[in-house]
Structures are given as C-alpha cells and as structure tokens.
C-alpha cells in the first residue's frame, strides 16, 4: 500500500543519525512488546506478513511521531481485536470481559528457546520455473495495491537488470492477505541511480533491490 512506512526517496524527514552502541531495547516496555509479539504469533491466528501489514495501517501522522516498538504495539493491538482474541472494549478498558477463547496454543517459558530455534525461513523448496535470469532487462510494474507489498514506490515503472535469482520464497503480498504462501522467485535487480532519481544522481551509482517475480515485466 502507499503508506508513510514506504519512505524510500522521500524528502523533508531529516538525516539518519545512527546511535553509537545502540541497545537492543531502550526501555523495558519495548522488550515486553517484542515478547508479546512472539508469544501471540505462536497462537497461529496470523503470520509475519500479516503482522507487518497491520503496522503499516497506522495513520501517517501517528506513525511519524512514534517509535519502532510503538508501531509493533499498534499492529499487535489491531490483530488481537481483528482475530477475536480480545474485544475492542477490553482493549479500551485494559480489563478482560470474560475467559480467553478455547483451544488456543500457549507459549510457555520453557518453550521459548525451542520455539526461537525452530523458526521457519521464508525460503521454499518448490520447483517453480523462473521467468527471468541474470542479465535480463526488466521493468518494475507500476502497481499501487491496497494491501501489503514489498515493491517500493520509488522503483515502480523503472527499468533494471536482473543481477541474480535468489530462489523461491513465500510471496508476502499473498501471505499478508491470508491467501496462502504462493511461492515465487525473488530476484536481485540492479537499477541505475539516474533511472530512479534522475539526472542529478551520480552516473556511477546503482541500487540493488530484491523483487518478487510478480513485480516484474520484461523490458
């Protein structure tokens, strides 16, 4: 979707200022939000791409004035209500109105190390023919979906060259919409900087973007 989260190439947001020796968590509540996301994900009511899309639904002004883990908390609250694990009233009052739904999988403290080690990667073993190969000229499709997508806005409609085929992965656009994994090839595509940013960009620079096959068309 065309949301404020897709900031690539945007002006006026100030410089990126890395924090020396940045801690993993700045506050204890951030640690708890991270843990809650892992624990509720274990229930199986949503997947990682649904979680990402939920954070993208945060209104723009709120997104720009809140921190990283506040985005995570917003998405988690949205999913908990949407999937029927709690009600909007329970979320508002922070008080349970009744017992938890039946049949939920529980993540117990002793299960956490095994659960983290068992996390499945997005790479798939499906034998799917590749439409493109290294050296092929392609155009990123000019699409503006309402749902989750990993095609950055600044690359849409731009010409590039396939640098390599990473293999087959879960297609996040479909996965976020609850349409299954729909495995697709993912390619590293090389774009000349001037193709993306115009004549003011350096002619020596290039940007490599990992793009799924449905995002691309032959040039």
* Domain match, 47 and 101 both: yes
Domains contained in the chain, number: 2
Residues 19-33: tens digit of each pLDDT = 999 999 999 999 999
Asked whether residue 6 is assigned to any structural domain, the reply reads no
Structural domain span for residue 63: 28-117
Q: Which helix (H) or strand (E) holds 28?
A: helix 28-41
* Domain match, 172 and 207 both: yes
DSSP state of 159: E
Q: At what angle do helices 48-56 and 68-82 cross, to 10 degrees?
A: 110
Across all residues in the chain, what is the average pLDDT?
94
Q: At 160, phi and psi to the nearest 5?
A: -150, -175
Q: Which residue, 141, 144, 147, 121, is CA-closest to 211?
A: 141
With cut-offs at 50, 70 and 90, classify the pLDDT of residue 119. low
β-bridge mates for residue 187, sequence order: 165, 211
DSSP state of 154: G
Q: What is the CATH number of the domain that holds 211?
A: 2.30.30.50
- Among the candidates 54, 86, 117, a domain finishes at 117
- Among the candidates 117, 149, 170, a domain finishes at 117
Residue 149 confidence (pLDDT) above 70: yes
* Domain match, 100 and 66 both: yes
Residues 50-93: tens digit of each pLDDT = 999 999 999 999 999 999 999 999 999 999 999 999 999 999 99
* Domain match, 58 and 97 both: yes
Residue 205 confidence (pLDDT) above 70: yes
pTM of the entire predicted model: 0.91
pLDDT (0 to 100) of residue 112: 83
- Tell me how far apart the alpha carbons of residues 157 and 219 are, in angstroms, rounded to a whole number: 10
* Domain match, 106 and 165 both: no
CB-count burial class (<10 Å; 0-12, 13-18, 19+) for 138: buried
pLDDT (0 to 100) of residue 100: 83
Q: What is the CATH number of the domain that holds 93?
A: 1.10.472.20
* Domain match, 32 and 109 both: yes
- Among the candidates 54, 84, 117, a domain finishes at 117
CB-count burial class (<10 Å; 0-12, 13-18, 19+) for 67: exposed
Asked whether residue 50 is assigned to any structural domain, the reply reads yes
Which DSSP string do the residues of 5-18 spell out, in sequence order?
A: T--TT--SS----P
CB atoms within 10 A of CB 42: 16
């Amino acid at each position: 979707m065309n949301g404020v989260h897709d900031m690539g190439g945007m002006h006026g947001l100030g410089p990126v200022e890395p924090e020396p020796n940045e801690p993993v968590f700045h506050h204890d509540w951030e640690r708890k939000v991270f843990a809650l996301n892992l624990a509720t994900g274990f229930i199986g009511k949503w997947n990682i791409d649904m979680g990402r899309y939920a954070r993208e639904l945060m209104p723009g002004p709120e997104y720009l004035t809140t921190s990283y883990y506040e985005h995570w908390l917003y998405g988690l609250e949205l999913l908990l209500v949407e999937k029927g694990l709690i009600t909007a009233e329970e979320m508002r009052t922070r008080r349970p109105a009744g017992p938890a739904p039946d049949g939920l999988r529980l993540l117990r403290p002793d299960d956490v190390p095994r659960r983290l080690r068992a996390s499945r990667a997005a790479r798939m073993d499906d034998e799917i023919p590749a439409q493109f190969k290294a050296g092929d000229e392609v155009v990123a499709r000019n699409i503006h979906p309402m749902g989750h997508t990993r095609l950055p806005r600044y690359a849409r409609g731009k010409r590039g060259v396939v640098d390599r085929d990473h293999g087959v992965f879960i297609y996040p656009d479909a996965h976020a919409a609850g349409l299954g994994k729909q495995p697709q090839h993912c390619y590293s595509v090389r774009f000349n900087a001037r193709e993306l940013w115009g004549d003011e960009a350096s002619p020596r620079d290039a940007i490599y973007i990992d793009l799924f096959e449905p995002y691309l068309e032959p040039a």
